Structure 1
Amino acid sequence: MRKLIVPVADAQLEALVTSPREDLHIEVKSWLDLADGLGKATLAKAIIALANHGGGFILLGFEELPGGVFEPAPNRPATLAGYSQDGVNGIVQSYVAPPFHCTVHYVRHPGSGDLFPIIAIPGGHKVPVQAARGSSDNNKTLANGRYYIRRPGPQSMEPSTPEEWRELVGRCVRAGREDLLEAIRDVLSGNVPAAEVPGLLDSLLDWAEEPTAAWLTSGEESVLKLPPPKGYFRAAYAIDGEFERPTLPQLLELLKRSTVRHTGWPAWSVLHRAEFAPFVNGGALECTYGSFGGEKFIQDPGHADYWRASPEGRLFLLRGFFEDGRPERATPGTVFSLTTPVWRVGECLLHAAALAQNLGVTDAKIVFSTRWAGLAGRELKDLDGRRYLSEGYRARQDQIDRSITVEASIIGDGLPEIVFELLTPLYELFDLFVLPRAMVEGELREMRKNSF
């Protein structure tokens, strides 16, 4: 049974039929014989080029006159059945790799009342599109395995310069990244439920509470043998996935290999000094840097670390606020650094991804939790003088906890988006300060340039 051809009413497509034109996103062809191999190859080449350019339209049934004017081509077929959507996608399946779906619209010319086919070519391909077979004219029209792009003129040609190849590959990389970031946004905003691991977050938080309480006790009884901090940052994560549990000596080596050296004081660092060597406690590795530098260190809580690592893939870190160790810039307990949280969360997430990879975990998920405490009364400040910030953003709430479950494989590329979503509620505590996305991206870019 022959399918009924239904004209569409679309202003953009109607304008194209009314006043045909060619540009990098639009190609105009005469009445191609799509029952003939050469006609199929000609159409396939145009489809490939437009797909690699980011998508566009092919208008059929017009010819170009001198001066660049288009008018309906002669030899109009008696029926448009040869230009069906099934027929066009059959050509794509045979001639294009990887294949994709095109849509065919039939648009009425306002003057003659005749219908003309317009093929919509999708963009956003994550790999460059190429020819899956050659044409019958000794591959002159279409060559198997070749890539085609749109070039000013406009023309559909093979890339011939490094710039054209970079643009082609870059467009695909950007398309893949946008899909990745959109998926991250959906999960973090709650549009798509995160793949939570039943009970793992609760178990992780319970595991983190004991050392937190131990650190917050006073004086010589505390984990770090220091007075309770005026404020602190806490990070904990658990790796979900199948892996062989390492021995404690093996775990120590894995931690050394997983250290992210983008800051001068990396998270879960292993110092090469005997007095700061990790030790075994309760079936896990622990490490304290509470006396490094003697009395001076007591004044620098940003280098007062306590961390714990379990062979089950659970890690925990406590650290004081570095801004409380800079009395020459601010009275301890009164300010909160504008940019430091971006660096702290960024390096902790990268550490989790690195350890999961070094453990050989396939399709690992990271259950990640953070805490900032001792915030009440602090004012948001840029202590390094690199970014402008007006005064008066103060916190009333004293503590905030944030958690997320994320696939380890997307942390590297999706780091700015993940960090932005995690930190936004923290910054809102400071009189509804709006965290600039560009600042997060810029700080992480600056951080990842460093190699200590």
Structure 2
Amino acid sequence: MDPAQNAQLEALITSPREDLHIEVKSWLDLTDKAHQATLSRAAIALANHGGGFIVIGLADEKGVFTPAPGRPETLDGFAPDVISRIIATYTEPALHVLVHHVSSPAGVHPIIQVPGGHRTPIQAKRGSTDGKTLSVGKVYIRRPPIESAEPATAAEWRELIDRCVRAGRDDMLDAIRGIMSGSAVAAEPVEPSASAKLAAWAQDGMQRWEAILPHTPTGALIRPPGYYQVAYRLTPEPEPLATPQLLAAISRATTRYTGWPPWWVPTRDGIRPYVKDGAVECNLAEGEPITAHSDFWRVSPQGEALLIRGYSEDDIPHRYKPGTVFDLTVPVWRVGDCLMQAAAFAAVLGVPDSEVNFTVQWRGLAGRELVHVQGTRFIHKGRICRQDAFDHTMSAIASSIPEQLPELVHGFMAPLYGLFDFLELPKALVDEELKKMLSGRS
């Protein structure tokens, strides 16, 4: 996150206010469907108004905002993937938001960044349990006095229509008129963008992973102290393969540059891949919390792949307490290896010149210090990351990845390292580490 954006987010807590682009909520229990609906209504209204922010954990006392009572012991219930999944589940088209955990003198608060510029109105896909907060098929907007409500006048509908038209979708006027009249929307469905499809694939993978995670005796998910999720998809989609041929293609595309290659296909009972919801899926954790050597991965016949893996830094407790450090060079290897696998997979599927839409989500970063575990590279002590999550996306032509790998990885990884007290990732470091990776040297 750049300093200007960070300052903007901090100001939402230190100088809170509500306007048509900012909504403030007290602490919500997002396991409660009523609270899920409340949050989703606010997100729908902001999206239809052009975007904005939802600030969690403040109370309005006669126009004065103060820390709300009921702060949870942890913010696990407000994890980016949790909030993203809830809002996407309640919205149509699925609304994808960004979630920031922002520190200030008042404490850490979740801030949900809702995008605008949609080419079709966002409406409710699900209703609330009371039938009032959220109704299926309803559209909500922001309007004075500051509230989220259904459009009630011709002027409000006209403003929404104009906003959608300005987003470049004249053909959505018929759909909007259908919503206004209460009839079914007859317009042809809009094809989701490549980035939207990638986000949906990544979200589905996160849901599948959460479904198989172990639980505490109280029912809470047991997550690792930190992990990253890699997801990519090929555009255009290759000709789909039957699952036996797909598994063979995954195995043929497995890279062997590192000791623990991504999308490795095991054959031992208990951890070998299986078919789930039309995709090939593999869980190496065997009922235990995921670590650096217990991947969860999925690959679809449509040329989509997903990998979730814990940080290797957390697997050496005799040297570092789990959750406290982040390695300088290992992430360069991991991202480089995953990009090379994507290029190999595209070649195996017969679409070597397809576009690879590639994203990585890092979680559990807050409070970690940047170190070099092997100890062969000097790094100043005390470089700490102060935000918990970071997502980054890029695109590249599959066949060009091998020759452009150092440039791709450096450009992709530099913003992540910048979170550690503005570290500028040296291009020479990336070049040297990838050279060692490709030659099989540790």
Residue equivalent to 1:207: 201
Q: Quote the offset at 1:272 in angstroms.
A: 2.4
Mapped partners of 2:192, 2:377: distance in 1: 41
**Alignment TM-score, normalising by the size of structure 1:** 0.52
- Confirm or deny that 1:220 pairs with 2:210: no
Choose which of 410, 420, 427 in structure 2 pairs with 1:430.
420
SS of 1:301 mapped into structure 2: coil
Q: How much identity, in percent, do the aligned residues show? A: 43
CA deviations on 1:204-236 (whole Å, 9 max, x unpaired) are: 1112113324545796359xx982111111100
Mapped partners of 1:451, 1:379: distance in 2: 26
Residue equivalent to 1:273: 268
Residue equivalent to 1:282: 277
Check 1:431–1:216 CA distance in 2 against 1; reply closer, same or farther (3 A cut).
farther
Check 1:289–1:422 CA distance in 2 against 1; reply closer, same or farther (3 A cut).
same
SS of 1:424 mapped into structure 2: helix
Preserved contact between residue 333 and residue 378 of structure 1 (Cα < 8 Å): yes
CA deviations on 1:309-355 (whole Å, 9 max, x unpaired) are: 00000000000111111101100000001111101100100011001
Q: In the TM superposition, what are the counterparts of 1:52-451 in structure 2 within 5 Å?
A: 199-216=193-210, 220=214, 227-241=222-236, 243-291=238-286, 301-361=291-351, 363-450=353-440
Check 1:255–1:214 CA distance in 2 against 1; reply closer, same or farther (3 A cut).
closer
SS of 2:205 mapped into structure 1: helix
Preserved contact between residue 233 and residue 303 of structure 2 (Cα < 8 Å): yes
For structure 2, list consecutive stretches of 5 or more residues without a partner in the other structure. 1-190
Check 1:219–1:281 CA distance in 2 against 1; reply closer, same or farther (3 A cut).
closer
Structure with bigger gyration radius: 1
Q: How many residues align?
A: 249
SS of 1:410 mapped into structure 2: helix
SS of 2:223 mapped into structure 1: coil
Mapped partners of 2:296, 2:195: distance in 1: 21
**Alignment TM-score, normalising by the size of structure 2:** 0.53
SS of 1:342 mapped into structure 2: helix
Q: Quote the offset at 1:451 in angstroms.
A: 8.5
SS of 1:201 mapped into structure 2: helix
Q: Quote the offset at 1:200 in angstroms.
A: 1.5
Preserved contact between residue 237 and residue 303 of structure 2 (Cα < 8 Å): no
SS of 1:302 mapped into structure 2: coil
Matched to 1:344, the amino acid is R
Preserved contact between residue 215 and residue 222 of structure 2 (Cα < 8 Å): no
For structure 1, list consecutive stretches of 5 or more residues without a partner in the other structure. 1-196
Mapped partners of 1:306, 1:359: distance in 2: 22
Deviating more after overlay: 257-266 vs 197-206: 197-206
Check 1:362–1:413 CA distance in 2 against 1; reply closer, same or farther (3 A cut).
closer
Preserved contact between residue 241 and residue 362 of structure 1 (Cα < 8 Å): no
Cα RMSD of the aligned pairs, angstroms, is 2.3
